[in-house]
Amino acid sequence: MPVLEAENLVKTYTGARGTIRALDDVSLTVEKGQLFAFLGRNGAGKTTFIRIASTLLLPTSGSVRLFGYDVVTQPTDVRDRIALVPQEGRPFDHLTPREHIREYLRMRGSGAERASDRAAQVLHAMGLDDSADEPALRLSGGLQQRTLVAMILATDAPFLFLDEPTLGMDPVARRQVWKVIRQAARSGSTILLTTHYLDEAEHLADELAVIEDGKILYRGGSEALKSRVGREVRVQFDGAVPAELLRPYGDLFHEEDRSILLTTRAHVPTLTELALSRNLNLSMGPVTLEEAFLKLVGRGIEEDEEGSDEGGAW
């Protein structure tokens, strides 16, 4: 059963660059209990979508319904059922993580005891025990962000919007947060998150949508997106290999000091020989979501760099 239904959503902004369509006819559904990842380059329209769906911004046209309630005409019914981690939000300097969670839960109607218990539980799960009673202004950036995410996950709201929830977190912290996000989904919350960490999307999401210039380019699972690349293996050469040598074997990505080729298994022996003859390290693995994403949004692929033989930014 879809709990979020966006239909023909359009949002235009008028500014110094003229009028831009931040969302250009977006239709999207998210099913109950799903962990849904919204991916896209900077400026693709992800935050705009979240702001409209969470009643913070009005659409130009089209509609979004959450649990059957219209975000424009029934915002209070929607707000009762959602919680949001805004992109690059900041905690209150003089409140501690524990106070953030406890007071937020009280504002949303929990009793004092229940709010304290839940705060202790979430602080522990998010690895915040040692920082729980420090004012936020004394916490590092990653701990401040964890405080905001803890505050929202503690609500157990039926729908959670997490706009880049793990921004600035170290790899250990991110995994702790993933665990708590998964628990929230298992206990029945539906979650829409955005992230630029594609390993995060791959680990967490049941389903994802890729948005570019306000339009949905892809909607489905991460495995299905990877298989659309049509290549089975990712081969990495440490050291630059002339593009013309590798191009016949697949899709070529250049980074400064390495070449990455998405290819098929049949070419692996030839490529191994090529690496040996040039004395280059070669490593192999499955195609990652990051490469599938780069291919989908048409960036970073060698053909974008016509005329430049080596390297280049992608």
Ligand X SMILES: Nc1ncnc2c1ncn2[C@@H]1O[C@H](COP(=O)(O)OP(=O)(O)OP(=O)(O)O)[C@@H](O)[C@H]1O
Do you know the residue count of the chain? Answer: 314
Residues in the interface with ligand X (CB under 6 A) total: 13
Give the closest residue to 6 by CA, choosing from 54, 39, 42.
54
Q: Considering the rule CB under 6 A, would residue 195 count as an interface residue with ligand X?
A: no
Of 158 and 218, which CB lies nearer to ligand X in the complex structure?
218
Give the closest residue to 250 by CA, choosing from 226, 272, 234.
234
Asked if 39 and 208 count as a contact pair (C-beta separation under 8 A), the reply is yes
Among 10, 20, 217, 268, binds ligand X (CB under 6 A): 20
Q: Considering the rule CB under 6 A, would residue 19 count as an interface residue with ligand X?
A: no
Stretch that binds ligand X, among 46-54, 65-73, 146-154, 271-279 (CB under 6 A): 46-54
**How far is residue 154's CA from residue 118's CA, in Å, rounded to a whole number?**
7
Among 40, 59, 89, 97, binds ligand X (CB under 6 A): 40
Of 160 and 262, which CB lies nearer to Mg ion in the complex structure?
160
Minimum separation from the CB atom of position 211 to ligand X (A): 7
Q: Considering the rule CB under 6 A, would residue 288 count as an interface residue with ligand X?
A: no
Stretch that binds ligand X, among 12-20, 99-107, 149-157, 165-173 (CB under 6 A): 12-20
Minimum separation from the CB atom of position 36 to ligand X (A): 15
Site string for Mg ion, 199-238 (x = CB under 5 A): ----------------------------------------
Minimum separation from the CB atom of position 43 to Mg ion (A): 8
DSSP state of 128: -
Minimum separation from the CB atom of position 47 to ligand X (A): 3
Minimum separation from the CB atom of position 46 to ligand X (A): 3
Among 29, 60, 63, 87, binds ligand X (CB under 6 A): 87
Minimal CB distance to Mg ion: which residue? 47
Minimum separation from the CB atom of position 45 to Mg ion (A): 8
The tokens for 94 are 């003089």
CB atoms within 10 A of CB 26: 24
Q: Which residues contact 25 (CB under 8 A, 6 or more apart)?
A: 8, 9, 10, 62, 215
Q: Considering the rule CB under 5 A, would residue 166 count as an interface residue with Mg ion?
A: no
Among 47, 144, 195, 259, binds ligand X (CB under 6 A): 47
Q: Considering the rule CB under 5 A, would residue 47 count as an interface residue with Mg ion?
A: yes
In which order are the strands placed within the sheet that holds 258-263? 251-255, 258-263, 233-238, 281-286
Write the DSSP string, 190-229: EEEEE-S-HHHHHHH-SEEEEEETTEEEEEE-HHHHHHHT
Give the closest residue to 22 by CA, choosing from 56, 52, 64.
52
Strands (DSSP E) found in the chain: 2-15, 18-31, 35-39, 61-66, 69-70, 82-85, 159-163, 190-194, 207-212, 215-220, 233-238, 251-255, 258-263, 281-286
Q: What residues line the site for ligand X (CB under 6 A)?
A: 13, 15, 20, 22, 40, 42-48, 87
